[in-house]
Structure 1
Amino acid sequence: MPPASQPNPGVNPFVRNALAISVSAKEYRFLHSHAQQYPSIHGRLISPDKFEAITRSKNKYNEAAVRAALRVFLGSGASLKLLNFIIGRISKAPAQEKVRTSLLRSPILRLSAALSLMVLLHRLLHRFFVKLRANLRTDEAGPFRERNPRISKALTSRYAPAVGASLAGLAMGICTVDQLRISLALYTITRGLEALYNVMDEKGWLKNKPSWFGGWLLMPVSLAQLFHAFVFDREFTPTWMARLILRLSPTYIHARPDTLPAEFHWPEKTEIVDSIAAIAKLRWPKFRLASWIAPKLRHSSRAPPSQFRFHFGTVLHVGGIYMVGAECETMAI
């Protein structure tokens, strides 16, 4: 077998690294074969064997991880830009003046950086914990296992690489604090609970569970998520559910009284729900619940602009489902 060719010493290391993290040797061979249809381009390209010799490295895994992270960064950034452009085109809302923000505070840049960094850290951490687990299981690591039995048991577990790599999720802290992070957190928690339940069921830890214990327990969590989305992200809520809640809650979300003069404004039902979400996001004001019914909150300069006051702590009963709701009354202005 001929010896492996060494990297070309005449190539600048910066150029070699840029080529290595841009495209792999296998991908370049594929692109080179398709470039034969364009003779003007194909004649200027180097051969796949020469490209492989130039980009040959001992750290192929790290180069692949950086390459994947860069592609996620560029792909997510371009996709978000395109999505914002499409939404701006089809949106019926009046155009608003764009608020100029610095590059480091750009939501798109920070989200793309968070996603790419999460991919990079996940790959690097997973490989690190796999190697650490393999080294701790060797005979040379026997003294360490004897001195630290609990730590060794945790690091040599087959779940250690997956749990350690999950720390890459902390990279989402770069992302701006908005509803996207909350939605991702809810989705991750739900999928994590589902995976935990499946593992416990496969291990036989739930073999003595009652016959009534099953997937129906996910119904309260699912309804809570749907109601949370109805208040804070109504565009992601099923239309039929939003109509059902508004139709079956006339006691808590009042319609316009027939005796109210036409010159007085009465908000729509969706405006009332939006006011509840606005007050919840402001976390205003701080009070203690003396009973199940909270005190009435009066309008002040710190509250969002509204002509209503709310009774928090009420319970909305829709189709046999109890959900936290709110009741509003008109205020004297």
Structure 2
Amino acid sequence: MNEETLANAALERLSELGLHGEVLAADQVEPAETHRLDAVFRLTAGSGAARTYGVEIRARLTPESATSITLPARLPPLLVTTHVTEPVAERLRAQGIDYVDTAGNARLAWGDVLIDVRGRRNPVVPRSRTSPSGAGAFGRAGLRVVFVLLSWPEMAAQPYRVLAGASGVSLGTVKAVIDELGRAGYLYSGAKGRRMARGGELLDRWAEAYSITLHTTLALGEFSVDDLSWWPASEAEMRSQGIQVGGEAGAGLIDPHLRPATLTLYAEQLPARFIAGHRMARAEDRGNVHIRKRFWRVAEPDSWIVPSPLIYADLLASGDPRQREHGDRIRTSDDRLIRLGKS
């Protein structure tokens, strides 16, 4: 389903639940209120109680991506999607986000209005023609290309072969991604070649797709240590072994006020010498040290932390509300993320 179809289906379900809904046109809402929103709904109950919602439309939601949702606070938020499972519903309710899906599950509350419908099964919807491992911008391979563009926006002007080398994907994948981003308005051609636009919005979409499609495929190992206080003093050791810091530990290097409880490391392969040297024990489930595969090939000799778009996505993909708050903080303190938001 495209966004218009999902929005219309949501209004039909809301009508069945006793709410009259209409989509407000751009000239009916202050421009500042519609920024980064997919739609604005005006809902009216039989009692006459009404509310104007800022609408975010998502084709699919997992508990992890539900935790990572960040909606503008100018209007009360309403999430529209195909199906809300109970774990997703719990995350949305905890964040105070009202929602409705195309099956008729919904939670909306204001004034004397309270609608809480749960347990309706997922309606049959056509599968996307693009598989998670496909070449589209938000498939598994395409996400690598988008990551390079978000981390080094000047790379947008480079030839396909350079982008392919930097992201470790085929030339065909690069072309498909560039074409898709161009159609969506995230890339445009200027006097000096391709340039990025709406970088903050693209980061939001990339971080959500990363948590669903790419994040879980990168795990090299989960480990536990009793004390994590040693890692900030290990910069030289990590550099010598090609290890970079991500996740909330990386966020802690961006914002010293953050106190990380976990350590996320990226490396070409499992760093056995580093693991043994710091007495890391294999974790049966999820430890406090996460080691992941480095999936890009752009060298930054002066940096021992991964690019901040990946740190931000790691925080959101964790499913931990505390780390999500860290993500919100570095969006306003990291130079790279600030520039993306302004592009």
Alignment TM class, shorter chain as reference: under 0.3
Which structure is larger by alpha-carbon Rg, 1 or 2? 1
Q: Which has the higher strand share?
A: 2
TM-score (norm 1): 0.22
TM-score (norm 2): 0.21
Which of the pair has the greater relative contact order for Cα pairs under 8 Å at 6+ separation? 2
